[in-house]
Structure 1
Amino acid sequence: MPRFSVIVPAHGVQAYLHECLDSVLTQSFTDLELIVVDDCSPDACGAIADEFAARDPRVRPLHLPANGGLGPARNAGLRLATGDYAVFLDGDDTLTPDALRAIADRIKETGDPDVVVYDHARVLWSGETLRHQRAPRLTEQGPAPFRLDDRPALLSAPTAVWNKACRREFLEREGLLFAPGFYENVPWTYPVLMAAGSIATLDRVCVRYRQRRRGGILGTTSRRHFDVFEQYDRLFAYVDARPALAHWRPALFRRMVDHFVTVFSRRVRLPHGARAEFLRRARAHYARYRVPGVPVRGHRRLRHLLVRLGAHRTYQALWLAARAGRRCGQVLSSALRAAGRGALALHYRVQRLLPLRADRALFSAYGGRGHCCNPGALEEAFREFAPHVRTAWAAHPEHHHTLPTATRRVVPGSAAYWTALARAKYLVTNAEFDTRLVKRAGQVLVQTQAGTPVKRMGLELRGRPAAARGADTAGLLRGADGWDFVLSGNRHSTLVWERVFPAGYETLEYGLPRNDVFQRATRTDVDRLRASLGIPEGAVAVLYAPTYRDYRGDARTALDLERVLRGLGPRFVLLARTHHAHDAPPSGPAYDSPSARAGGGRLLDVTGHPSVEHLCLASDALITDYSSLMVDYANLDRPIVLLDDDREVYEATRGTCFDLRSAPPGAVARGEDELIDIFTSGHWRGSRSTQLRAAFRERFCPYDDGRAAERVVRRVVLGETAARTGAAVTGLPPVVPLDRRHPVPSAAARPAASVPGPSPSFPPAFPAAPTSLMRP
């Protein structure tokens, strides 16, 4: 008896069925049977099912003699099923990776409930993926399992079949079968939730629901949409036969009215001339199932009034009035936005006529994020070495809490922002301020960049559409023409920047300011950072920081960190941080597995932590792939493990600036198993890894001695010049050679110690500990 019976009805979906079945058979949880019901499909669906059955004994094809629709096809699959739980999937949809394992874990955690409800995402025909926003959050907090009376909001979840795993014994005991016709999910989903003795939720996207451009039932014009009336007749007959469910009638009535309005308002569904008849039928159902005395609030009042009246002309008049109102509102909003843009443009022009302020500097990082990276380190150096210059930082309000109190805050796009752009002498960023920036004579624009280039950048992305994403090459070069200085941490960076951003700027090969903190931090600082992150004393903290995948576009990681943690042992803690380019929360096995939230805080999501430098200091080792963070981390002289598991795909889509395998910063793992072996065998901090890291540091970290920001400020603001003699820079603070640098050792490389109070040279304020991914 398998754990899951996955039932897939197939009719007219031959173009999508391969992907659907593959998504089931490639699940990491393999205890399943896959029942493919060929609903007398006119295309090759039946043949595809037979092909999969010939390759995999878990596939059980079933060929129906006549087409009966989704409901009867699912019933046929249920009669054949032998699994503990039934999981339904339409033939053009797919399961997400590790979905069945997550569902199985949740079932085990909650004591085999009758129903598990999980989340889904819509995949538009254009390829865009959107998580369902209007549905109630399927939170796992609170008691579990529960009954519908404990969480009645679950009744407003989508009436889908494929977002639930149902215990087969429960379905058989309650006689819950599917009805024929369109909207067959209505008289099945609601009774399943109401009859279930125990329900659990899983806050994870387990299904990708495909919205096809053509061919989908909901996009079909047909009188079969009138089936919705019979489906609600079946639903209320089920409730009437069970007096204990009578208290659900008001909620079901409201859902029915909303559903009628949705069908009617989607003009593509009903044939021309049938709309008035549909409203008359809706009015009859309204009168039949209305619960007197139940209040209707908010936006539902108009809907209920239209259905209660059943007047097609009244509905059309109100719909046209609402449409006209929306258009007027859109026109008014557009006019106001245009007027606001015009006023700001005029304000900017006026400000450019006024004199520059030589004592003002404007900073920004990553297009409006908080105080971080090279601009953040330079802003501190401006206040220390050029105190006559008043600094301002351009950041969106949600990042203002990261800014020092002595730094003025401006919001990108505001009048104050444009004033600062027009009149500040110094403009410092690691990205771009605004494409409408007009650089004035006398302004100094410092492009700090965001690290050492490991992956291809700038002009080298031409011919790589997945990475370039329609980038404006001409605009890129126009922006580079405005740069006065570009920061570089090593000769490699200097050569790459001059090649990929060819312009007339001066390269300051002084080291990267954001790495200064690595030479100034003390053991006390490291101990306090680890305590603030919740790292247990004596644990080995490993920072996992993968780079952005252009070909993927989301924060999903293929690495199963939960499995990695099990392999490494109880002494290890993983700090997981996604790339700053991801605005959405991270996802993947490391983040979505429910069991990953119940293991005692050994897996910490530190994506929201404002300082990656602080995370580096708190950790004992780094796992990364093609991220420039490896160069920064090498300054700490701590172990680095390179995960090179998708090299061919990455090189084809983005590519790297040098061969990482020939000059890695430490041990190289080509997969998850190798990664675990590198740590369990001790190779991650062995002599060979130490030799590789030493050669890497010599090549990429010649100037990161803790005074890079000071050298930049002295050159850019104070006008001090530099002369180079061999590898030394004279006229500015001299560079401390590598063999004379002594960065703070990691906690794992020394006896545990806890000394109160930060060092005077280290930022005193640390953010609160992040939320553990192990907690629900």
Structure 2
Amino acid sequence: MPRFSIVVPVFKVQGYLRECLDSVLGQSCRDIEVIAVDDCSPDSCGAIIDEYAARDSRVQAVHLPENVGLGRARNAGLQRARGDYVLFLDSDDTYTPGLLEALADRLDAVGDLDILVFDHVRTHWWGTGGRSQTAGLFEKAGTDVFRLKDRPEYVELFLVAWNKAFRREFFLEHGFQYAPGLYEDAPVTHMAMVTAERIGCLNRVGVEYRQRRQGAITKTPGRKHFDIFAQYEGLFAFLAERPELAWATPMLFERAVFHMLFALKRPERVRVADRKEFFDRTADFYAAHVPDGFTMPDGPTGVYMRAVAKRLYRAYQATQFAARARTAGPNRVLKAKNKVGRRAYAGLYTLQRRRSPDPRLAVYTSYWDRLPSCNPLAVHDKAKELAPDVHGVWVVRKELAGRVPDGIDYVVRDSRRYWEVMARARYFVNNVNFPDHIVKRPGQIHLQTHHGTPLKRMGMDQRAYPAAARGMDFERLLDRVDRWDLSVSSNQHSTKQWERAYPGSYESLDAGYPRNDRYYRAGAEDVAAVRARLGIAPGKTALLYAPTHRDYRTGWTPSFDLARLARSLGDDFVLLVRTHYFYDLNRELSDLAAQGAVIDVSRHPSVEDLCLAADALVADYSSITFDYANLDRPIVIYADDWEIYSQVRGVTFDLLSGRPGDTPGAVATTEDELIDTFRSGRWRGSEAAGLRAAFRERFCQYDDGHAAERVVRHFFLGQEAGPEIVPLAQRTPAPSPALV
């Protein structure tokens, strides 16, 4: 029998679940079991749970046949718990290191407790806040053991399930169960606290309570928040059956009404149209359960309760208005004026927005209105096949208009037709973000395809890296994220990074990157044709060198002597060099290309073509590494500035660790090492192949040649994102040039 059973109910948290489970399984106290309850989650949560259960015997995977909600998912986990103590952890939160050992030490010191409560911090999407408002109570309690009747101030401890360790037999003996609906924590917490004979507090932060910017039900307004009334009715029915708990009724009544008022005044919970009804329901509860001789609390809470007791909704509104006016300040007025100013767009755009969106019109763009490419182009091509009624129009810069391939309809940015299309289109597809002046109208939907797997820190994570965040307006970034409806991901690593770096209400679609379909669709003839167009002579080993952008450099300079590498490798090799699109043409590279030392492919329109043509990739920290891994060809990492890059830009994992899954192949940190890597054959040896296989397994999860179809069916046709993902072992990428 384990010391602790940790029940983790899981629903639509694929971006956070691994971090949650790792925080539990990595605890220094090993005498635990983890019961992960998949509440019929529609994303990858069930597969993640199974993965953890397969590799750690302490994890029990429970898959519910239908979605039952947080409370009943906890109950399902409780039924399977065997530990002395049971804890409930929400699957987007995490334990702090050493928590369970500290709980065990306290229990060893004071004996069995019915409830042991610990503190938490709120981890917001912009950073971690301080301890809870009741932190002083934890300090005050010390190692005392008490009943709530003797220490009534402890009724103010946070009303949640996840900040307590319950003695399992105590919990089961009283028949505590979480009811369906929202606010399910409150009645069970109160029931347990008033019946417990031995309560203790641990003055320690045990949980990082994640405050998601979007997606949390407590921040989603709607009728579900009326569940609070049924929850508290259940609590008072419990009290009515236990006259020995009459001492607790006035205290819990005050807490219940306070909780209802707390929900009522928050626009992210109760909608304006529902506030009068919610107020009336609160007044009904007050009238039905107010204890004899109840004394109103002092301060603002008492003022609001008096309005409830007398059913004076207008008096309540007036009090709320006065409170908001005191705290609003002049900045809110200024912000409102600025917001209005930002929406003062061209008259044509405003006029066109009065018309209904065209259900057969889609707008595409990639890389800030460059030529059609990347994931949006792959989606565009597949949509012409599967959704032919939807007409796609590309947005491009004026100077590039003459280079748009034949057969692709386009508009020039800021032209008259541009404003008409942006106002009328139903579908918007981009691998970055549309400009701030684009207003998302009801009926319009946005697809964010992204353009790579993130090794470097992105989005809101960049706030910790000033050089990388230079010039970024994070408030506007979040406004742009709020337009997303669907975010495409090619692996679980990306899903986790996107959901944290770009907090929003969008749906994550684990479908693979559409642009990578080509690596599984191309055959030997395609590979040969691309190499011929690039001028790669038959029999040559082509190395594609594709370095990424450096935030701490203003221009591009090769990290090693390109000419020396070319000379050292000899005539059997040819070096293809592609600079990042942020950089202008490089004179040194142009001269080397003119001399025949290298082939400059910086302005080649298709990165996918270049990857198909290359026998191996030489990369640094570029996301091309993750895409090229689909081809199962050698990858060499040249990282001469890893330390400064990782400190200035920030990274999501250690690319140079040498651990399977982190490092995709051979690594060189100096020019001499790079030359030796190829001369010695290390670049394509068995060790490099083993690393590449683990890297592909981690980062090529969903890329199987059908990603574009999955995206189009889901986004344009409203269907399930099929077909099913082909297992990695059954995929056949385009053949290597050596085989061709």
**TM-score with structure 1 length normalisation?**
0.50
Quick check: 1:372 aligned with 2:373? yes
What code does the residue aligned with 1:442 have? G
Residue by residue, what CA displacement relative to the aligned partner does 1:53-92 show, whole Å, maximum 9, x if unpaired? Answer: xxxxxxxxxxxxxxxxxxxxxxxxxxxxxxxxxxxxxxxx
- Aligned to 2:735, which of 740, 745, 762? 745
Contact 1:344 1:415 in 2 (8 A): no
Shift of 1:632: 0.3
Match of 2:415 in 1: 414
Q: 2:402 & 2:617 partners in 1: Cα distance?
A: 28
Contact 2:593 2:599 in 1 (8 A): no
What code does the residue aligned with 1:586 have? N
Shift of 1:648: 1.2
Match of 2:126 in 1: none
Q: 1:634 & 1:381 partners in 2: Cα distance?
A: 23
What code does the residue aligned with 1:348 have? Y
Alignment of 1:623-642 (within 5 A): 623-642=618-637
- Aligned to 2:655, which of 646, 660, 663? 660
Match of 2:452 in 1: 451
Shift of 1:473: 0.5
Match of 1:529 in 2: 530
Residue by residue, what CA displacement relative to the aligned partner does 1:274-297 show, whole Å, maximum 9, x if unpaired? Answer: xxxxxxxxxxxxxxxxxxxxxxxx
SS in 2 for 1:573: strand
Shift of 1:406: 3.3
Shift of 1:745: 1.8
Q: 1:404 & 1:734 partners in 2: Cα distance?
A: 32
Match of 1:572 in 2: 573
Contact 1:344 1:418 in 2 (8 A): no
Alignment of 1:101-500 (within 5 A): 345-400=346-401, 403-500=404-501
Shift of 1:598: 6.4
Shift of 1:343: 11
Q: Which runs of 5+ in 1 are unaligned?
A: 1-340, 723-731, 753-776
Match of 1:585 in 2: 585
Q: 1:598 & 1:443 partners in 2: Cα distance?
A: 49
Shift of 1:557: 1.9
Match of 1:621 in 2: 616
Residue by residue, what CA displacement relative to the aligned partner does 1:142-172 show, whole Å, maximum 9, x if unpaired? Answer: xxxxxxxxxxxxxxxxxxxxxxxxxxxxxxx
Aligned length: 395
Contact 1:364 1:393 in 2 (8 A): yes
Go from structure 1 to structure 2 and tell me whether the alpha carbon gap of 1:573 and 1:475 turns closer, same or farther (over 3 Å shift).
same
Q: 2:645 & 2:688 partners in 1: Cα distance?
A: 24
Alignment of 1:686-697 (within 5 A): 686-697=685-696
Alpha-carbon RMSD across the aligned residues, in angstroms, is 1.7
What code does the residue aligned with 2:420 have? T
Q: 1:644 & 1:411 partners in 2: Cα distance?
A: 39
Contact 2:543 2:573 in 1 (8 A): yes
What code does the residue aligned with 1:434 have? P
Q: Which runs of 5+ in 2 are unaligned?
A: 1-341
Go from structure 1 to structure 2 and tell me whether the alpha carbon gap of 1:634 and 1:353 turns closer, same or farther (over 3 Å shift).
same
Go from structure 1 to structure 2 and tell me whether the alpha carbon gap of 1:446 and 1:703 turns closer, same or farther (over 3 Å shift).
same
Go from structure 1 to structure 2 and tell me whether the alpha carbon gap of 1:381 and 1:402 turns closer, same or farther (over 3 Å shift).
farther
Contact 1:547 1:579 in 2 (8 A): yes
Contact 1:626 1:656 in 2 (8 A): no
Match of 2:671 in 1: 672
Quick check: 1:514 aligned with 2:515? yes
Quick check: 1:706 aligned with 2:686? no
SS in 2 for 1:664: coil
Q: 1:506 & 1:410 partners in 2: Cα distance?
A: 29
What code does the residue aligned with 2:655 have? L
Shift of 1:562: 0.4
Contact 1:348 1:419 in 2 (8 A): yes
Contact 1:402 1:610 in 2 (8 A): no
Go from structure 1 to structure 2 and tell me whether the alpha carbon gap of 1:660 and 1:597 turns closer, same or farther (over 3 Å shift).
closer
Identity of aligned residues (%): 51
Shift of 1:597: 5.3
Match of 1:563 in 2: 564
Q: 1:463 & 1:736 partners in 2: Cα distance?
A: 38
Shift of 1:721: 2.5
Q: 2:386 & 2:638 partners in 1: Cα distance?
A: 40
Q: 1:342 & 1:428 partners in 2: Cα distance?
A: 22
SS in 1 for 2:400: helix
What code does the residue aligned with 2:348 have? H
Q: 2:439 & 2:554 partners in 1: Cα distance?
A: 32
Q: 1:451 & 1:399 partners in 2: Cα distance?
A: 23
Contact 2:490 2:513 in 1 (8 A): yes
Residue by residue, what CA displacement relative to the aligned partner does 1:546-599 show, whole Å, maximum 9, x if unpaired? Answer: 0001100212222111011111111110000001122x11255xx27x5x3565
SS in 1 for 2:379: helix
Q: 2:634 & 2:674 partners in 1: Cα distance?
A: 13
Residue by residue, what CA displacement relative to the aligned partner does 1:325-345 show, whole Å, maximum 9, x if unpaired? Answer: xxxxxxxxxxxxxxxx99971
Q: 1:356 & 1:493 partners in 2: Cα distance?
A: 32
SS in 1 for 2:468: helix
Q: 2:481 & 2:587 partners in 1: Cα distance?
A: 35
Q: 2:683 & 2:403 partners in 1: Cα distance?
A: 34
Residue by residue, what CA displacement relative to the aligned partner does 1:460-505 show, whole Å, maximum 9, x if unpaired? Answer: 1113222111200000011101100111000000000000000000
Q: 1:437 & 1:703 partners in 2: Cα distance?
A: 31
Shift of 1:405: 3.3
Q: 1:458 & 1:638 partners in 2: Cα distance?
A: 31
Residue by residue, what CA displacement relative to the aligned partner does 1:677-698 show, whole Å, maximum 9, x if unpaired? Answer: 1100111111111100000000
Contact 1:477 1:501 in 2 (8 A): yes
SS in 2 for 1:747: coil
Q: 1:534 & 1:675 partners in 2: Cα distance?
A: 25
Moved more, 510-519 or 412-421: 412-421
SS in 1 for 2:518: helix
Q: 1:636 & 1:399 partners in 2: Cα distance?
A: 31
Shift of 1:529: 0.6
Contact 2:401 2:412 in 1 (8 A): no
Q: 2:625 & 2:731 partners in 1: Cα distance?
A: 18
Match of 1:681 in 2: 680
What code does the residue aligned with 1:739 have? A
Contact 2:559 2:640 in 1 (8 A): no
Q: 1:411 & 1:501 partners in 2: Cα distance?
A: 29
Q: 1:620 & 1:672 partners in 2: Cα distance?
A: 20
**TM-score with structure 2 length normalisation?**
0.52
SS in 1 for 2:346: helix
Go from structure 1 to structure 2 and tell me whether the alpha carbon gap of 1:598 and 1:587 turns closer, same or farther (over 3 Å shift).
closer
Shift of 1:424: 0.4
Moved beyond 6 Å, runs of 4+: 341-344
What code does the residue aligned with 2:450 have? Q
What code does the residue aligned with 1:745 have? P
Residue by residue, what CA displacement relative to the aligned partner does 1:15-37 show, whole Å, maximum 9, x if unpaired? Answer: xxxxxxxxxxxxxxxxxxxxxxx
Contact 2:343 2:437 in 1 (8 A): no
